[in-house]
Structure 1
Amino acid sequence: MLRFLAFLALAACGAVDYDHAPVGKLSGTVVVMWVGETQAGEGDGRFVYVPSATPLRFERANAKATLKTIQPEMMYTDGGSIPALTQVFKGFSPWGYAPAYILHDWLFVARKCVNDNSANSDQAAVAQMPFAESATVAAEVIQTLIATHTVAPNDIAPQLISAAVAGPIAKSRWNEEGACARDKVKPAHIDMIRRALPALSTARTGQRLAKGPVAQIVQVIDFGAP
């Protein structure tokens, strides 16, 4: 998701109606794995969202939604990229709103492939979504996490996060070109994930992997069946 220092500086620039974002339905399982050290000195490392046999899925209740259901594919995600000094504040854990971060990240991954005319069928579904709606999705997911008692209510963090992802830095990334191929999960990282979770439906090939580095699970959240 957005780098948190920029988020603090530009939060007020974004416009999203967090208070009226409708509650949707989350299902499936969030699996996030650590595959490497931090990139360019940012965040706490390199992470991958890994779809399981029951992948994360968000069904929206927003009547104006251009995309009613969002189901991410395997992708890099940076959570909230929140500096350690800021993590002491309630609501600002880098994985505190993990499903919202992951679903929002997926929209950007898909959009960049749309921009490069390289989108697969799932990614192409994001083509009609305007940038402002991507921020609304983040707000809807956070509202859903709170409504389902997955996370505790917070008077400040959700509004700030929703405003940040509606800001100019996010918009520039939404319109970015040349990033689709660059952002694909590297084969070496996929192998690390397969060594750790060989039974995952998305990783199963029947091929026996040689010994090597193994990815580490950092987050698992199960929302149950759709």
Structure 2
Amino acid sequence: MSLSTNLPAVYIRTRIPKTYQRQPIISRLISRYDLTINIAAALLGNYDRNYGWFDLELQGSPENVESGLVYLQALNIEIFRLTLKNLLEPRMKKSQPAILDRVNVSIEQMDTVTEDEPENDSTQEAGQTTLTKVQVCIPDRYRAQPVISRLVSRYKLTTNITSALLSADAEDDGWFDLELWGRRKQILLGLRYLEQLGLQTWL
């Protein structure tokens, strides 16, 4: 299922500096501001040691989308391109003109677990919270689906992207190294979700 067109969407190209690459910035946008985020393109890790690049589609209520953009601005994360749906544009012009002044903005019309699994070296226990590291390949047929976003919204996992390679070419698969923080049952359910989608994962 693709993202709903019932809510305003914002398309951004953002550059995340190295100082924030160990923090779950995208995960916080989802959990704190109730946003659905689809990653359209990404480059993070050894490909560029100083910055990470993401093309993101943010979808949610106008208030939440605006709050998410303000959060990025407060972290001094650069937004290079911002495409607003027409329902959000007047609000942003009125309440957050500084954001619009700093980026290239264009406007679009609004479209009317039950078994335990064995321990492995990628899992560390920290009290009741577990960290699991997983590499996942997201094939091109899932490009329009917010797969990583659902790990946060459905399974309440704090998800940090430590490495990413997803070109803008619709025929290419995406590769992501993820850190999943949560209770063990949540992590097992999240991994099962990826398995049910038929995605290749490596722990």
TM-score (normalised: structure 1): 0.25
TM-score (normalised: structure 2): 0.27
Q: Choose between structure 1 and 2 for higher RCO, CA contacts under 8 A separated by at least 6 residues.
A: 1
**More helix per residue: 1 or 2?**
1
**More strand per residue: 1 or 2?**
2
